[in-house]
Amino acid sequence: MSLIVQKYGGSSVADAESIKRVAKRIVDTRSAGNDVVVAVSAMGDTTDDLIDLAHSVAERPDAREFDMLVTTGERVSMALLAMAIKDLGFDARSYTGSQAGMITDSKHGDARIVDVTPVRVREALDQGAIAIVAGFQGFNRDSRDITTLGRGGSDTTAVALAAALDADVCEIYSDVDGVFTADPRIVPLAHKLDHITSEEMLELAANGAKVLHIRAVEYARRQGVTLHVRSSFSDLPGTIVYNPERAEEFEVEEPMIAGVAHDLTQAKITVSGVPDVPGKAAQIFAIVAEQGANIDMIVQNVSGRGTGITDISFTLPKAGAEKVKRALEEAKDEIGYEQLTFTEGIGKISLVGSGMRTNIGVSARLFEALRDAGINIDMISTSEIRISITVRAELVTEATRVIHSAFGLDADHEAVVYAGTGR
Amino acid sequence: MSLIVQKYGGSSVADAESIKRVAKRIVDTRSAGNDVVVAVSAMGDTTDDLIDLAHSVAERPDAREFDMLVTTGERVSMALLAMAIKDLGFDARSYTGSQAGMITDSKHGDARIVDVTPVRVREALDQGAIAIVAGFQGFNRDSRDITTLGRGGSDTTAVALAAALDADVCEIYSDVDGVFTADPRIVPLAHKLDHITSEEMLELAANGAKVLHIRAVEYARRQGVTLHVRSSFSDLPGTIVYNPERAEEFEVEEPMIAGVAHDLTQAKITVSGVPDVPGKAAQIFAIVAEQGANIDMIVQNVSGRGTGITDISFTLPKAGAEKVKRALEEAKDEIGYEQLTFTEGIGKISLVGSGMRTNIGVSARLFEALRDAGINIDMISTSEIRISITVRAELVTEATRVIHSAFGLDADHEAVVYAGTGR
């Protein structure tokens, strides 16, 4: 008998019919002899609706009250799910983040989990019941207030529970079939992966892939939790995201490249003609950090215009990029650069694969493929198992397809594309 | 400086605009130098919508989960209200029933308050903040589950807080101007009372008046809390509901009759030809009690058909009356009655007034007025300050108006009737 944690996203519980369908799936899992714990998101667009409601009553909604408000979404879906399961004749109980022992720090809107003590959940399982836990929320012991976990919160809830309860697997359900080699909405020949290492999944998630949130992937990796990314609309197996401990089960068949992620949420700033003296980069990025921006790629090249000056380019999320631009413009004399260029018209593409460690020529193949397609590469940035490039935004789709083909990832047939959001 | 508890019903917080308007009213009360605690209902029809949602996922929604579900309504409105107040520059904090120390028994859906320990609310007031409390909900210490307080729950929350915090007044806001001498929707010449004794309010509420729930009135009476029933849509004073301790402030002007309530929710059962021997009434009402019915009026008359037999009539809520009828029909031989008559076509009208204690001729005046109007009285039932009669349902409106006029309650002009629900 296994202990299975299942997470159902908003699209999987969007209405009464979906809730009943999910209840049936949960009951089938239980009937097969497993202990089942479920983390559930708010129904459909509820969270967005509640956020809109908050902004319609206040210009700057208070953070504590905001968390109290938005967490009602998961309370509604967890209670309805428990009701539907009980109506099918199985014992089920719902638990808020607080009742499930999801203890966090006090940072409303983006709380960190500091401890997970799912005592009541464990008791429910011991009594043969199914436990339904509200995703996306926790409890701060000091203030005794409800908190929300920030983006990817419900995935994180599921993984945290799986880790604390020593679950055999954590199934993440959404409206997509699993992890694909690229976003099937821009690469029709993308195919679903049967399995992927957690390290590769981390790189894909950190670089644009939306099916799993990076935070949940990190947590699973750190805690040794195996993830199974599946669709709640079918019974097909999805994608297993596994950790190094389980490598032997999968590695024999592991392809060199896992997939290609793309990211259109970045903007690029180039500070050119910076005096090439120690401390200038530090000065620039201190100003950037003050604005709270999360820098992604950084590239520094000695300027073609001569020795003694350099150009520094970096990418950052579009949201908040204007602030950074203005701050750097105000500091022009202080830094002493010649010119600042800002563009939102860029896209980042990342090729990810564990095989890069041991295979040479990957970058060569990548650059040749893009050269042959006449696509110009702007910035390049790498990690042990990832190569990222930036191109003009309007070329991202074509470039992604070119790279996908060049590395033999194309399926025999086009992927069936749902209007799915991957949530 | 006073401590004022305010309760706002669903129609007062139906949307973002209403919430902002209520926030302004609360802030004005605080600005006048008062400590303010607010109990708030769910927005508009939210509770009904959530109940529908529960029934769309399960045939018999689990009681514990049902309470978890419906209490989200008040959490949403309290958080939004706190946000709106903070946006106006005043400190405000929302508290769930649990956080506000509203401790109840374990009866989901109709929990009794067993203790009120509003420690965090008191702390908020001491720090100069406005406390917003979710109405209609509490917390059971044994199961550590959320509970709902049943009908009139938000009024009860407000009164319970007022009692526990020793508030100077408890203002109950809805979409009606106050307590009227009769329901203005059927008696256009009804007028708003400036004040009424809690004893009279109890009788009106228990006999059909909807502006305040009987439970809240009882609690206020028991705990010595003064109520002020007002409209959230105007600044006019409403109706003060006061207890005996404050009689001297009001009594000089107290009219003999407070008002006329009507009730169309009752059905009537007559068991005729019952053997007039000890124990028969007990036998009949034991069967009725087994069905969980709440008997209202009981009238027993020796039958006109001779000695040794009697007729017993009683009224009960229409909901559930069918069950009682069937149970009595099945027990016909056991009880030994001749015939059972069942009708839903009745209406009860109650004349209420403290003055009845000391004034004779009230019943005579009542019966004469109805006789002159050609309206037949069926059952009669009285208490110290109330006379109730039943008539055919279709005559309730006319009869109520006749009685209202006969006792000098008619206003000079017609009441402005809102499409209000009194909630």
Tens of pLDDT along A259-307?
A: 999 999 999 999 999 998 888 889 999 999 999 898 989 988 776 666 7
Rg (C-alpha) for chain B, rounded Å, is 23
Structure tokens at B190: 């009804």
Share of chain A above pLDDT 90, in %: 82
**First CA to last CA distance, chain A:** 29
Kindly state the helix (H) or strand (E) to which residue B39 belongs, with its residue range: strand B35-40
Domains and CATH numbers, chain B: 3-251 (3.40.1160.10)
d(CA A252, CA B297): 83
Complete DSSP assignment for B58-77: -SS--HHHHHHHHTHHHHHH
d(CA A153, CA A159): 10
8 A C-beta contact, residue A295 and residue A282:
no
What separation in angstroms does the CA of A371 have from each of A222, A374, A377, A389, A403?
Answer: 39, 5, 9, 13, 11
Indicate if the pLDDT at residue A422 is higher than 50: no
The side-by-side arrangement of strands in the sheet containing B113-116 is B113-116, B102-104, B137-140, B145-148
Other beta carbons within 10 Å of A349: 28
Q: Chain A contacts of B71, Cβ < 8 Å?
A: 75
* Tens digit of each residue's pLDDT (9 = 90 or more) over B125-172: 999 999 999 999 999 999 999 999 988 899 999 999 999 999 999 999
Strand-strand pairing, A380-383 and A386-392: antiparallel
pLDDT band at residue B420 using 50, 70 and 90 as cut-offs = very low
Cβ–Cβ gap B58/A86 under 8 Å: yes
DSSP state, residue A373:
T
Q: Is B74 annotated as a binding residue?
A: yes
pLDDT at res. B151: 82
**What are the start-end ranges of the E strands in B41-176?**
92-95, 102-104, 113-116, 130-134, 137-140, 145-148, 169-174
pLDDT band at residue B423 using 50, 70 and 90 as cut-offs = very low
Residue among B238, B236, B114 nearest B164 (CA): B114
Mean pLDDT along residues B279-298: 90
Residue among B177, B225, B178 nearest B198 (CA): B225
pLDDT at res. A416: 63
Cβ–Cβ gap B57/A93 under 8 Å: no
Share of chain A above pLDDT 70, in %: 96
Mean pLDDT along residues A203-229: 94
8 A C-beta contact, residue A85 and residue A27:
yes
Mean pLDDT along residues B57-80: 97
Indicate if the pLDDT at residue A423 is higher than 80: no
Cβ–Cβ gap B93/A64 under 8 Å: yes
CA distance to partner chain A, nearest, from residue B300 (Å): 45
Cβ–Cβ gap A87/B144 under 8 Å: no
8 A C-beta contact, residue B295 and residue B285:
yes
Q: Is B8 annotated as a binding residue?
A: yes
Q: Chain B contacts of A23, Cβ < 8 Å?
A: 57
Nearest CB partner across the interface for B79, out of A69, A79, A93: A69
Nearest CA in chain A to B50: A76
What is the identity of the amino acid at A245? Answer: E
CA distance to partner chain A, nearest, from residue B22 (Å): 11
CA distance to partner chain B, nearest, from residue A257 (Å): 44
8 A C-beta contact, residue A243 and residue A217:
no
Nearest CB partner across the interface for A57, out of B19, B57, B68: B19
Is the pTM higher than 0.95?
no
d(CA A52, CA A62): 14
What b/e string do you get for A29-60 counting C-beta neighbours within 10 Å, with b at 16 or more?
bbeeebbbbbbbbbbbebbeebbebbeebbee
Residue among A184, A215, A186, A188 nearest A201 (CA): A215
8 A C-beta contact, residue A41 and residue A135:
yes
8 A C-beta contact, residue B153 and residue B73:
no
d(CA A217, CA A352): 15
Phi, psi for residue B238 in degrees, rounded to 5: -105, -125
CA distance to partner chain B, nearest, from residue A16 (Å): 5
Cβ–Cβ gap A68/B79 under 8 Å: yes
Strand-strand pairing, B346-352 and B259-263: antiparallel
* Tens digit of each residue's pLDDT (9 = 90 or more) over B169-188: 999 998 899 999 999 999 99
Structure tokens at A388: 């990222």
Nearest CA in chain A to B73: A72
Mean pLDDT along residues A351-355: 93
pLDDT band at residue A17 using 50, 70 and 90 as cut-offs = very high
- What average pLDDT is seen over chain B? 92
Helix, strand, coil % (nearest 5) of chain A? 40, 25, 35
Nearest CB partner across the interface for B72, out of A54, A58, A72: A72
Q: Chain B contacts of A65, Cβ < 8 Å?
A: 79-80, 82-83, 86, 93-94
What is the identity of the amino acid at B400? Answer: T
CA A336 to chain centre: 38
Region class of A114: left (phi > 0), else alpha (psi between -120 and 50), else beta:
alpha
Cβ–Cβ gap B87/A57 under 8 Å: yes
pLDDT at res. B252: 66
SS3 A421: coil
Nearest CB partner across the interface for A69, out of B66, B68, B76: B76
DSSP state, residue A89:
T
SS3 B388: strand
Structure tokens at A250: 């999968």
Q: Chain A contacts of B84, Cβ < 8 Å?
A: 57-58
H helices present in B198-310, as ranges: 198-206, 214-223, 247-250, 280-290
8 A C-beta contact, residue A108 and residue A65:
no
d(CA A74, CA A79): 8
8 A C-beta contact, residue B206 and residue B246:
no
pLDDT at res. A226: 95
Nearest CA in chain B to A77: B69
What's the sign of the alpha-carbon dihedral A392, A395, A396, A400?
A: negative
pLDDT band at residue A420 using 50, 70 and 90 as cut-offs = very low
d(CA A13, CA A20): 9
Other beta carbons within 10 Å of A10: 25
pLDDT at res. B246: 86
Indicate if the pLDDT at residue B390 is higher than 50: yes
Mean pLDDT along residues A107-128: 96
What b/e string do you get for A138-147 counting C-beta neighbours within 10 Å, with b at 16 or more?
bbbeeeebbb
Nearest CB partner across the interface for B62, out of A20, A64, A83: A83
Cβ–Cβ gap B86/A56 under 8 Å: no
Rg (C-alpha) for chain A, rounded Å, is 23
Cβ–Cβ gap A16/B53 under 8 Å: yes
**First CA to last CA distance, chain B:** 29
Structure tokens at B312: 């017993």
pLDDT at res. A358: 82
Structure tokens at B161: 């807080």
d(CA B292, CA B317): 11
CA distance to partner chain B, nearest, from residue A175 (Å): 21
What b/e string do you get for A278-312 counting C-beta neighbours within 10 Å, with b at 16 or more?
eebbeebeebbeebebeebbebeeebeeeeebbbb
d(CA B325, CA B216): 32
Indicate if the pLDDT at residue B34 is higher than 70: yes
pLDDT band at residue B254 using 50, 70 and 90 as cut-offs = low
8 A C-beta contact, residue B57 and residue B51:
no
Place of tokens 């390049």: A380
Cβ–Cβ gap B58/A93 under 8 Å: no
Nearest CA in chain A to B80: A54
Other beta carbons within 10 Å of B308: 11
Nearest CB partner across the interface for B75, out of A54, A72, A82: A72
**Which of A49, A60, A69 has the most B C-beta neighbours within 10 Å, making it the best mutation to test the interface with B?**
A69
pLDDT at res. A306: 66
Nearest CA in chain B to A20: B57
